[in-house]
Amino acid sequence: MREEVSNWLKRALNDLDTARYNLNGKRYDAAAFFAQQAAEKALKALQIKRLGRFERTHDLVLLAKSVNSPKEIIQLCGIVAPFYTITRYPDVEIPSDKSKISSVVEASEKVVAWVEQNLR
């Protein structure tokens, strides 16, 4: 695997681990943010592999479509994507329900797993 791709994937996996850690620690804002970051970095790793470049965007749906992701992955990206913005602005309420944030982390895990399969 190309070093640049590997570096992006390592960061994605680290962010996913951080999302899980924060979820367990009831830091739901951080868990959601790192879940979004994990999916974004994983998709950018796949963009680099397939396209030779990555797009400077936080739009997970756009990133997923650019690498011909299946419909399920695009839908999962739609679940995770809003949390980049939601977690960055204090005037937007972050869900404090563990099950809601847990579903965001799980969606990100599925996106990252799909990317890993496609990087082999």
How much is the pLDDT for 91?
A: 82
pLDDT class for 105, splitting at 50, 70, 90?
A: very high
Domains along the sequence of the chain with CATH: 3-119 (1.20.120.330)
pLDDT class for 102, splitting at 50, 70, 90?
A: very high
Which residues, at least 6 apart from 104, have a Cβ–Cβ distance to it below 8 Å?
Answer: 31, 32, 35, 36, 79, 80, 83
**CA 68-71-73 angle, 5° bins:** 80
30-82 pLDDT, tens digit each? 999 999 999 999 999 999 999 999 999 999 999 999 999 999 999 999 999 99
The Cα 78–Cα 64 span in angstroms is 10
> Is 80 exceeded by the pLDDT of residue 113?
yes
The Cα 76–Cα 99 span in angstroms is 16
pLDDT class for 8, splitting at 50, 70, 90?
A: very high
